[in-house]
Amino acid sequence: MQRYLVRRILQFFLIVFIANSLTFIVPRLVPGDPITEFLNNQQLLNPNPEFETWVADYKAKFGTDRPLWEQYLNFWAGAVRGDFGYSIISFPQTVMHRIGVALPWTIGLVSVGTLLAFLFGTSMGALLGWPDSPQMFQWFVPVLMVIGGIPFWLFSFVVIWIFAVELGILPPAGGINMLDVLIQGDTLQARVVSIAQHAALPIFVFVLFGVGGWGLTMRANLIMTLGEDYILFAHAKGLPESRIFLRYGVRNALLPVLTALAMAIGGIIGGSTLLETAFSYPGVGSVVGAAIQQRDYFVISGAAFFMILSSALALLLVDLMYPLIDPRVRYQ
């Protein structure tokens, strides 16, 4: 058990190390350099007579005047301290600051959305996989398939248009309306209400269009499980249908889906970029979206670090948790 833990944690560090090294080195093999590019653009708008020294100055601040290996070492030295350098666009601001402010928004939005989609989706999948479910349910399968196959963030536009633009019942963008909150005396309740109102539409998109994948996975697992010999024997034991379905079918079919859930939660930071951008939600996704449009390279790579970290953490979590939920898998 202890050796397993140690080995698994070492593996986690190895994944984080390799993945980040790759994302650090490979892009730098491409010719070009984001700082020069940025300053070139500035130069066009607002000519600086001492352009050369300006560039040198900037490069020194960002450390890109050093040889690659030194930059690489500095990257790791900074990363372990949570320092990913500065934003190019909003210069004195650090990358960590920009991401740190946005992170709680993303985690809140996406974890609630993912969990709700998971709950609805797996229940629906379980119902669809149940041999005795009403026939009419079967027509949900192609619907779920189509919904699950289309990138869900595309529906953001439709939802914003209907609920925010045409009906005007929910805010179309942002995470909280501070003006409203202040008018109401900045109470906790006012804040919660405003946050919930802003999160309602993105979460709606998550749930309505995220259930497809969960539902289909669960259904497929359940169909497989219901074909197992132990289900036949459970029937031979004279157990009632409902108990077989829940305790022998759904329970066993759920195990692999839980792994997928952990992975999905690990993908939180990366997975919501497009959704957050569509809703201008103040999370990491929007920060990344803005950084990409402004070609703020260090913010992008800092965000990538967090994406890698969170998905590696999820993998670690799955491996540590799985033996607890599935007795067949042991720590070894």
Q: Which of residues 145-164 bind other proteins (CB under 8 A)?
A: 145-146, 149-151, 154, 157-158, 160-161, 164
CB of 29 to other proteins, least distance (A): 9
Q: Which of 117, 181, 265, 288 binds other proteins (CB under 8 A)?
A: 288
d(CA 49, CA 54): 9
d(CA 182, CA 39): 40
Binding of other proteins by 284 (CB under 8 A): no
d(CA 241, CA 297): 58
d(CA 225, CA 231): 8
Binding of other proteins by 332 (CB under 8 A): no
- # of chain residues touching other proteins (CB under 8 A): 77
Smaller CB distance to other proteins: residue 181 or 284?
284
Close Cβ partners of 300 (under 8 Å, ≥ 6 residues apart): 288, 291, 292
Binding of other proteins by 172 (CB under 8 A): yes
Q: Which of 165, 167, 179, 324 binds other proteins (CB under 8 A)?
A: 165
Residue type, 222: L
CB of 146 to other proteins, least distance (A): 5
58-64: list long-range contacts, CB under 8 Å, 24+ apart. 59/35, 61/86, 62/35, 62/86, 62/88, 62/298, 64/33, 64/35
Stretch that binds other proteins, among 41-49, 175-183, 196-204, 251-259 (CB under 8 A): 251-259
Mask for 60-99, x = binds other proteins (CB under 8 A): ----------------------------------------
> Interface residues for other proteins in 298-317 (CB under 8 A)?
300-301, 303-304, 307-308, 311-312, 315
Q: Which of 223, 258, 260, 318 binds other proteins (CB under 8 A)?
A: 223
Q: Which of 127, 211, 278, 284 binds other proteins (CB under 8 A)?
A: 278
Smaller CB distance to other proteins: residue 32 or 185?
32
3-state DSSP call for residue 308? helix
Which among 115, 133, 118 is positioned nearest to 249, based on CA atoms?
Answer: 133
Smaller CB distance to other proteins: residue 188 or 236?
236
Supply φ then ψ for residue 263, to 5 degrees. -65, -40
Dihedral of CA atoms 319, 325, 327, 332 in degrees, nearest 10, equals 20
> Interface residues for other proteins in 3-42 (CB under 8 A)?
15, 18-19, 22-23, 26-28, 30, 32, 34, 37
